[in-house]
Amino acid sequence: MYNNHNKKLKIHLPSPCGQTLFKRHEPSPGQYYFEDRYDLVKFIKVVQQAGLYVHLRIGPYACAEWNLGGFPVWLKYVPGIAFRTDNQPFKAAMQNFTTKIVNMMKTEKLFQTQTGRSNNSVSGKEINNDHNGGTFVNYYMYHGGTNFDRTSGGPFIATSYKTCLDIRYLYTHIELYVSLLYVTYIRLLTLNKLKVHEFKTNNGVCAAFLANYDTRNAATLGTQSSLMRMSAANSAFNWKSNNEEPASSGEHDSITAYALWEQINVTRDSTDYLWYMTDKNVKLRVGNNKISLLSVAVGLLNVGVHFETWNAGVLGPVTLKGLNEGTRDLSQQKWSYKIGLKGETLKLPTVSGSSSVQWVQGPSLAKRQPLTWYKTAFRTPAGNDPLALDMSSMGKGQVWINGRNIGRHMPGYIARGKCGDFYYAGTYAETKCQTNCGQPSQKWQDFVHLIF
């Protein structure tokens, strides 16, 4: 898979940028993981074999719209820690991780010897005035991004995030003009707050980058564009379902406390799900009436002031209203907790785990019923076209392909507001570029790279 990506990168970009993810490489304090998809050394060597350099972003903070910006959850519970500030526990953890990565690169002799100007302090103005020529153009985030598994932070970002600018075909444009981007003759044209960087060859062929630095007035440019529409490759799925039973406080793997606990402190982000359960005698029907609350995480904050202090779960108060004696506060009574769903414990998304339970189909298939597992099988369509699942008819949940979690889906999270007005002058705001109001914020679940 790396080789295929590198061939494309070599066509489009002279230097791919790689991020090291603290969460994946140090899942617990002092325990490092560099295997399978997270074999950093192998990745860089494959890129090297393709004749490319890697711009390695060690971080340790990545953002990347990941849970906690790529920080491992255990970091949140280091005593006295405060993220991304002048805080000794935080700096100590950052130094340990960074040193580990740097030493690994040194041992494998993967650093490129640097020459040229010494590492002096250079002002931003000097860089802009003296070094704005050349062929390095930063295409940061022009393609958006997609996070898989339960890594997508936000919260409320299903898996994909992207800019609203019409830059979907920049890859194609770069490929058409890649030879021009290496020429040494570059001209900068300025008209008021409009700038044009022109790359031109001796025979008159040119490519230009247009920029508007006016924060109050838009610059209109006529363009031609086309829209790709997804067509159904297979709609005749034979679905089967299995119901997830609510957890009970009497189960052997539940834990108890006379308080409401914060969710991430209990689960340590091992799952999106945490059951809150309690028993109370009330006059609803004869006997005990069990109360079970299922708390579902939808991504942890990835940026912000002191985002390590943000909590999730049922924090209280929890009250019963409408009783003869009035409102009853249940917050401080005995609560039981169960981490995750039974289906997760049984590994239902895998082939072996799927065979451990009874599935129903046909007339017995569960429809519009919460806490239901569904499964089906299909043959991969021929060709190399993009492949995705349309999840707009489903509720909130997660999707697995061949046992690999491709992410959450939450079509109920609807884009609201006014659509159609595109005015980009001034400070960016998401309301400036809304489309498809009333539709799910994400309809398609990409997974073609997971089919082997």
Q: What is the pLDDT of residue 164?
A: 46
Considering 120-134, 404-418, 421-435, the range whose residues carry the highest mean pLDDT is 404-418
pLDDT number for residue 328: 83
For the cut 60, the answer to whether the pLDDT of residue 13 exceeds it is no
- 103-117, 264-278, 329-343: the lowest-pLDDT one: 103-117
Note whether 208 and 176 are within 8 A (CB). Answer: no
Q: Can you tell me whether residue 445 is helix, strand or coil?
A: strand
How confident is the model at residue 358, as a pLDDT? 93
Up-side HSE of residue 75: CA atoms within 13 Å toward CB?
Answer: 30
* Residue whose entry in the numeric block shows the structure tokens 């169960």: 338
Q: Which of 158-172, 176-190, 404-418 shows the lowest mean pLDDT across its residues?
A: 158-172
Instruction: Kindly tell me if the per-residue pLDDT of 272 is higher than 60.
Output: yes
Q: Is the Cβ–Cβ distance between 294 and 286 less than 8 Å?
A: no
Percent of the chain with pLDDT over 70: 71
Q: Which of 139-153, 191-205, 272-286, 395-409 comes out lowest in average pLDDT?
A: 139-153
Maximum CA pair distance of the chain? 91
Distance CA 115, CA 350 (A): 51
Using the predicted structure, report yes or no on whether residue 204 has a pLDDT greater than 90: no
Per the DSSP assignment, residues forming a β-bridge with 326 are 323
DSSP state of 179: T
How would residue 72 be classed by pLDDT, with cut points 50, 70 and 90?
very high
Residue (of 332, 362, 341, 329) closest to 243 by Cα position = 341
Sketch out the chain's domains with CATH numbers.
Answer: 1-113 (3.20.20.80), 245-340 (no CATH), 347-352+370-450 (no CATH)
DSSP letter at 304 equals S
DSSP structure string for 341-404: -HHHHTTTTSHHHHTTS--EEGGG---S-SSEEEE---PPPSSSS--EEE-TTS-SEEEEETTE
With a cut of 50, say whether residue 3 has pLDDT above it: yes
Q: Residue 215: what pLDDT?
A: 78
pLDDT at 127 over 70: no
> Per mean pLDDT, which of 208-217, 225-234, 301-310 is the most reliable?
301-310
Out of 16-30, 274-288, 292-306, pick the least confident: 274-288
Structure tokens at 200: 């031109």
CA distance 398 to 299: 12
- Assign 137 a pLDDT band (cuts: 50, 70, 90): low
Q: Is residue 449's pLDDT more than 60?
A: no
CA separation for the pair 62, 84 (Å, rounded): 11
Q: Record the pTM.
A: 0.71
Q: What is the DSSP letter of 297?
A: -
Calculate Rg over the CA atoms of the chain. 26
The model's confidence at residue 425, banded by pLDDT at 50, 70 and 90, is low
Span 13-33, average pLDDT: 81
Mean pLDDT value of segment 41-63: 86
Residues in the chain, how many? Answer: 452
Cα atoms in the 13 Å half-sphere on the side-chain side of 291: 15
Q: Is residue 420 predicted with pLDDT exceeding 90? A: no
> Contact at 8 Å (CB) between 443 and 393?
no
Residues with Cβ < 8 Å from 318, sequence gap 6 or more?
260, 293, 329, 330, 331
Pairing outcome for strands 17-19 and 55-57: parallel
Which residue would you say has higher pLDDT here, 286 or 215?
A: 215
Residue 93: predicted pLDDT: 95
> Which pLDDT band, with edges at 50, 70 and 90, does 57 fall under?
confident
Indicate if the pLDDT at residue 361 is higher than 70: yes
